[in-house]
Structure 1
């Protein structure tokens, strides 16, 4: 994962972040060149196809170089930072790498080396001399640390600071658009819903700090950036095309291009969480011959039982926890549905433990956190774990391990106000239980028409692992437990 460039400078590479993840996108640097870091201190926040992850560095010392700017995708194994350990200082060890290479490329540092960091504390006369020789001084600082200056050699792109912006946009070899100055300390990273939004703003030279986000707590959404670009385009200053690389209207466009038909739609890259979901659902639909059965159930007694539990004191029990407890009891009776198919060996693998996934909608898209060993947890423990994972999902702090390894999924789409659904199975699982909204409906209860709390339950299953009889038996048992919670006493 890392190696020593010499006796003291160690290179830390992007580690393997989970099952099948081969790359990550830098969202925010948590350290600067020259900072002292402790062992296992997070140095960068990255976004993988699974979640947002803070990456800790296994070395303690002085950061001498960073590799890749914010918005850059790095493969697993690419250098992240170099750290000087021992010796009492970074400047004594000399540079770990040449800092004059292109910023953001894998294997090339964004920030300067120890020598460059030491030389950054220059006098005004030295700054004038550097500018006259074609060097570019770029401001570098955040609210957590004093602003530093560093040099970028002529002909190379100016790297961004912790906020993801550079003072002076490099157009060519040593050419800078606008005056070069030192950056003022920023107020911290701008809250955006996705690195894609940050990249879109950067491509169009749009300052995110000038926008007011319409998302929760001022979160800047893609729609906010696109609205700002359209407003700028209406004033004739920029193009509103999200695909434009420079954000500028070209001086002269060829006639063939201007006369060609153009789509008014917006292109959204399938990457990150959305890309991972798309790949998984496509594979599921391609490989799994699924079928769905459903049943209406009278949930009145289940709702009464939950009310009685919560009235007795202690932590409140959530409805999804009771449904999860019913699922684990049903899977113990019908283990065929807690399985996966090994297509290469042409075998059905029945699993002994229930790792229960549940669908959670977040600002970053749909994620499926996993409750490990759900069959060993009671309703109170399940409630606590659901709450913890949901909070982490909304904050984008789920680890890859908390998003993988599920064996069965519970999908409570009733929270969206719908009654039924035929969901796509979460590959490589064999089944998913769907729960619609619970609403008052006319229902024949004990031979008389009454208003009862009714819910629609659906089971989508892999027809390779079982036939309709098994799937129907599972769903009927779940419905019986919903209608008569005392049925669960047999398995407690």
Structure 2
């Protein structure tokens, strides 16, 4: 006897709440094994293959390629067999790096509100029946706690037998979520509410089973901001005038192309915007004579062995400078009003890909030599180009190095990679006239720029860091003190 189980888009971790279907790896009717990848999705962090924790025959797929699905939405249904009467099949429980497919811990499972009306409503609108999954059975094993399932029937499909989603203003309680935990789609939404002093128990979620989505929190914040406006606006005569018509983004008849900000590009846009909003940054820069550094690199590579990259030498200089100025290897905890200094240097570096800008992280960069840094940079760069970086390789950085000189530009004012405290930018190295040992000469000159969070240090510390980096570039022998 076969049972149809539903596998939902699992928890993507790191505050990710949706993913775009890039490519289906199975067709309806295919036989899949336990933990076999069934779909390739792109998140705001990377492109990954999602394994299914059940083995059986694929009976349905949800979403076409290019469709963006939220966490908890159904991906596929699989017909599996029962070994014994009354025994429920279980998922493998295996976990991809950063992507859960097993049963969530019981202490974190969300308590679902009791639906209004019949609990046995079937599928509608051509969606396959969910079987035991509709009753919160084994199919829920693939969905982490805190993520509601997508209802197969909704008022939009016009099904007479559909069960309307239960809102938090149900008749069984005096107010929204008077008892029990508040169902929120992701920790990111919960944190957004907490940072803005919003009580989630006073909201009515628009998601399935009253699940609170990010749009619900944002709408509540906008409504609160409107109500908290200056008192004089209520009596100003201009408030009686009709609001001016919105200015169109393009003139009538003009052609324009709209490009959605989603996936990696959307995540980068959100992160840069947050950095500008929250971090009071400042930038200082200096020109340095990199002639001796280039000669030292040529000598290293001429000695045989693996070639040493210029980025690796600059990274080694950064880790030495951070050992002297640890204030810049930190982050600001806004809630606790504390500056958190890190003992390890997890060095991020900006990498441009066809999908957008990503910042892979070299773990424990302070403990690696030039050869080790070169090898790790090469590995992470190749993974970035192929879209195979894991969420763990894209998060957890404490300081970022940005070599924008590869684009042929001399200088820049970097935007700090939130929530870090500083970023070092390196321009192109080009021959320029330079006063060397009292005489005018042609030297290899580079511009270095440091953007730093003014909350973690003042200009003296930032200037000292940048000057030390410039000294090491001009005289690589200075590094011998820390090797």
Partner SS state of residue 22, structure 2: strand
**CA drift at 1:280:** 0.8
Matched, 1:56 2:51: yes
Q: Which has the higher contact order (CA 8 A, sep 6+)?
A: 2
Q: Deviations over 1:384-439 (max 9, x none)?
A: 11111111111122222211121111000000101000011111110000000000
Distance 1:329 1:270, change over 3 A: same
Q: Is the 8 A contact 2:122 2:129 kept in 1?
A: no
- Partner residue in 1 for 2:304: 313
Matched, 1:479 2:470: yes
Matched, 1:406 2:401: no
**CA drift at 1:101:** 3.8
Distance 1:27 1:471, change over 3 A: same
- Partner residue in 1 for 2:386: 395
- Partner residue in 2 for 1:46: 41
Partner SS state of residue 411, structure 2: coil
**CA drift at 1:18:** 2.6
**CA drift at 1:60:** 3.0
| Equivalent in 69, 77, 84 of residue 74 of structure 1 | 69
| Equivalent in 405, 413, 422 of residue 422 of structure 1 | 413
Distance 1:59 1:309, change over 3 A: farther
- Partner residue in 2 for 1:11: 6
| Equivalent in 284, 288, 306 of residue 297 of structure 1 | 288
Q: Deviations over 1:184-208 (max 9, x none)?
A: xxxxxxxxxxxxxxxxxxxxxxxxx
Q: Is the 8 A contact 2:435 2:441 kept in 1?
A: yes
Q: Is the 8 A contact 1:78 1:107 kept in 2?
A: no
- Partner residue in 2 for 1:349: 340
**CA drift at 1:448:** 1.8
Distance 1:486 1:106, change over 3 A: farther
Mapping 1:8-157, distance limit 5 Å: 8-86=3-81, 101=125
**CA drift at 1:268:** 1.4
**CA drift at 1:8:** 4.6
Distance 1:42 1:21, change over 3 A: same
Mapping 1:52-451, distance limit 5 Å: 52-86=47-81, 101=125, 261-451=252-442
Distance 1:102 1:446, change over 3 A: farther
Distance in 2 between the 1:477 and 1:461 partners? 15
Distance 1:482 1:87, change over 3 A: same
Distance in 2 between the 1:60 and 1:81 partners? 12
**CA drift at 1:353:** 1.4
Partner SS state of residue 361, structure 1: strand
Partner SS state of residue 390, structure 1: helix
- Partner residue in 2 for 1:201: none
Q: Is the 8 A contact 1:360 1:368 kept in 2?
A: yes
**CA drift at 1:261:** 2.3
Q: Is the 8 A contact 1:338 1:354 kept in 2?
A: yes
- Partner residue in 1 for 2:453: 462
Q: Deviations over 1:97-151 (max 9, x none)?
A: 9897457x9989xxxxxxxxxxxxxxxxxxxxxxxxxxxxxxxxxxxxxxxxxxx
Gaps of 5+ in 2: 89-120, 132-156, 158-250
TM-score w.r.t. structure 1 length? 0.63
Q: Deviations over 1:62-111 (max 9, x none)?
A: 323222221222111222222334469xxxx9xxx9897457x9989xxx
Partner SS state of residue 56, structure 1: strand
Q: Is the 8 A contact 1:79 1:106 kept in 2?
A: no
**CA drift at 1:55:** 1.0
Distance 1:7 1:355, change over 3 A: farther
Distance in 2 between the 1:446 and 1:458 partners? 25
Gaps of 5+ in 1: 1-5, 109-155, 157-259
Distance 1:267 1:376, change over 3 A: same
Partner SS state of residue 277, structure 2: helix
Partner SS state of residue 476, structure 1: helix
**CA drift at 1:371:** 1.1
Q: CA RMSD in A?
A: 2.5
Distance in 1 between the 2:396 and 2:36 partners? 27
Q: Deviations over 1:284-303 (max 9, x none)?
A: 11111110001111111111
Partner SS state of residue 394, structure 1: helix
Distance 1:448 1:23, change over 3 A: same
Moved more, 58-67 or 453-462: 58-67
